[in-house]
Amino acid sequence: MLMTLIRRELLDNLMTFRFAAATFIILLLVVANTFVLIIDYERRLASHNDAVKMHQRQLQEEITYSAGEVRVDRPPNPLSIFNRTYAIA
């Protein structure tokens, strides 16, 4: 009996216009957010590639090993198109 009531209430709520509108808006926001974060990822990847090339050139210009510095270039996470985290520096 309780399951029948729960099922009926759930189906009544799922069939409303408000639920359909909210679902549509959420899907639209997910697509828009993913599009924006893909562009941001491509920009960060290009910046990373430029930094790697610059550091390789600087390393080749060094005369001795003692004059060099340790530089680590961490590539952007490919899954960051779904969740953008900001590092506090």
d(Cα 40, Cα 64) in Å, to the nearest integer?
Answer: 38
- pLDDT at site 89: 53
Q: Please, what are the averages of pLDDT over each run of 10 residues along the chain (89 residues)?
A: 89 88 95 90 94 89 76 85 68
Give the domain ranges of the chain: 19-60
pLDDT at residue 4, as a whole number: 92
Q: Which is it for the CA torsion 37, 43, 45, 51, positive or negative?
A: negative
- What global pTM score does this model have? 0.64
